[in-house]
Amino acid sequence: MNRRYRKTIIAGNWKMNKTPTEAKTLIEDMKQQLDKDVYKYCELVLCVPFTDIQAAIKAARGSKIAIGAQNMHFEKSGAFTGEISADMLKEMGVKYVIIGHSERRQYFNETDVDCNKKIKVAIAAGLRPILCCGESLEEREQNVTMEVVRKQIKIALRDVPAEDIKKVVIAYEPIWAIGTGKTATAEQAGEVCSAIRDCLRELYGARAARAITVQYGGSMNAKNAEELLAQPDVDGGLIGGASLKAPDFVAIANASRQ
Ligand code: 13P
Can you state the angle between helices 53-60 and 20-33, rounded to 10 degrees?
20
On whether residue 3 sits in a domain, the answer given is no
Per-residue model confidence (pLDDT) at position 255: 97
Question: What is the pLDDT, as a whole number, of residue 181?
Answer: 86
User: How far apart are alpha carbons 161 and 241 in whole angstroms?
Assistant: 34
pTM attached to this predicted model: 0.98
What range does the domain containing 113 cover?
9-255
Which pLDDT score is estimated for 244?
A: 98
| Mean pLDDT confidence for 227-233 | 97
Confirm whether 37 is domain-assigned: yes
Mean pLDDT across 225-237: 97
With vertex at residue 175, the alpha carbon angle to CA 211 and CA 98, rounded to the nearest 5 degrees, is: 50
Reply yes or no on whether the pLDDT at 68 is more than 90: yes
4 assigned to some structural domain: no
Alpha carbon nearest to ligand 1 atom 5, residue: 240
**pLDDT of 3 above 90:** no
| 182 band by pLDDT with thresholds 50, 70 and 90 | confident
Q: Is 238 a pocket residue for ligand 1 (Cβ < 6 Å)?
A: yes
Q: For residue 185, what is the domain's CATH number?
A: 3.20.20.70
What is the distance of C-alpha 68 from the center of its chain? Answer: 9
pLDDT at 151 over 90: yes
Q: pLDDT band for position 45 (50/70/90)?
A: very high
Report if residue 1 sits inside a domain.
no
Closest atom, ligand 1, to C-alpha of 47: 10
Q: 253 pLDDT exceeds 90?
A: yes
The answer to whether position 175 is within a domain reads: yes
Q: What was the pLDDT predicted at 258? A: 81
Catalytic, 73? Answer no
Q: Is residue 2 a part of any domain in this protein?
A: no
Residue 65 lies in a domain: yes
The CA distances from residue 42 to 24, 39, 49, 134, 146, in Å, are 22, 5, 23, 23, 27
> Rounded mean pLDDT of 166-191?
95
- Counting ligand 1 atoms within 8 A of each CB, the residue from 17, 132, 238 with the most, and so the one to mutate, is 238
> Does any ligand 1 atom lie closer than 6 A to the CB of residue 179?
yes
What's the rounded mean pLDDT across residues 94-109? 98
